[in-house]
Chains A and B, each alone.
Chain A
Amino acid sequence: MNLIIPLTGTVLVEGSVWGDGKLSGDDKDPIRPVDIDLGNVSWTMVDTDLENETMEIEVTPGDTVSEPTGEIDLETKEPIYISRPATKEERAGFLRDAQKLIETHTKDELYQMSGCSRLKRPFKGKK
């Protein structure tokens, strides 16, 4: 499943991630989708669109689920979990949740929810 996410970060060199591969981000503020938690999914970049300041990503559901047992580790004071493979229904649910999160919010709302600024392009239009 593919999603389109608004971009944040700072562009140091305008360009593309394909073709000449010139697009470069600031290591201290890298070009990335807004820091919004998509849930138990992994994703891979498909392409960036600097014109619309978005990234298209391909999303895959996570393979495992960690559930609390309700017990606490007496030594570390941390909750004790068990991990198990995600069911087919759970994996489908992870994708639906990620899709719903993105597709039911505007770009402005996603920036606000993530607390991220719009993509900074200080060298846009400069040679």
Chain B
Amino acid sequence: MSYPPQGLGVNVSDADAAVGDVKSGKTFYAVASPKKTGTMPTKAIVAGSDLYEEGYHAGDPGGLDAIDTDLAPAKIKKDVVIFGKTGTYTPTLAEDVLGSQISGLTTGYADGGTQHQPLAAGADLDLASKTQTYATTSRAVAVGFINVKASFANTIKLRLYMDGVLVTESAYFSTSATTYITASTRALSGSKTCKITIHNYAGAEKWCNIGSASGAGGSKLAAGIGVGSIKV
């Protein structure tokens, strides 16, 4: 005897829904067993989570931005499209810190404009430093300069450190009086120190003549550091 008997009801022999296809708690009739109960779980996407689980989703007439109000153009980077929302956000940059420091060392000669500076083999001599407090999102730049004449060729270089990291180094100082400038950037946050030094690569003590800031004896050296930073 066929099911349903001929002339009675609807032929459901080709029905292919399974319990996992039907929302949990809802019942349906199938061929093998007259009545079944669905097991598809009801799920929902929620703000603050990127989970998109398998199951029944009721949806939201207000759209995804009704579920998570952060899905808004003003909070998305400009021209980036997320779920159909085109961003308009452009970060605003602002000045963070600005500072400078001339070397605290002075020329030793009463009538001269330079400081005859010896430097041990492999040694660093601190010339100037600046400590500033940087914002958390800060990008800092440091610039160091020196007016110097090396007594020996191919021996001494200018170094720039930012918070205990060597970030840039000059070529050898010339044996003619020359002003060198070196600069670098890195991210800094909190109270940090940037400084310039000179370094002797020779295997023996060498020296150089560092100019004075004012050209007079006993005045500060013509060496210094400037720092600045911008923040978002």
Which residues of A are interface residues toward B (Cβ below 8 A)?
A: 9, 12, 16-27, 30-33, 35, 37, 39-45, 48, 60-64, 66-68, 76, 78-79, 81-83, 94, 115
Contact = CB atoms under 8 A, between A and B. Distances in A.
A23 B165 CA distance: 8
Nearest to A35: B122
Contact of B187 (A21, A31, A76): A21
Contacts of A27: 161, 164, 193
B163 A25 contact: yes
Contacts of A61: 171
A30 B161 contact: yes
Contacts of A78: 151-152
Given A25-B163, A32-B166, A67-B153, A62 B171 contact: yes
Interface string B132-162: 0010101010000000001111100100011
Interface residues of B, number: 37
A42 B168 contact: yes
Contact of B153 (A17, A35, A66): A66
A25 B193 CA distance: 11
Contact of A45 (B122, B164, B165, B193): B165
Given A30-B161, A31-B165, A40-B172, 5 more contacts: A17-B187, A35-B122, A41-B171, A42-B168, A83-B175
B27 interface: no
A44 B164 contact: no
25 contacts: A17-B162, A17-B167, A19-B187, A20-B136, A20-B187, A21-B163, A21-B186, A22-B189, A26-B164, A27-B164, A27-B193, A30-B164, A31-B164, A32-B166, A40-B171, A42-B169, A44-B167, A45-B166, A48-B165, A61-B171, A63-B171, A66-B154, A81-B175, A82-B176, A115-B122
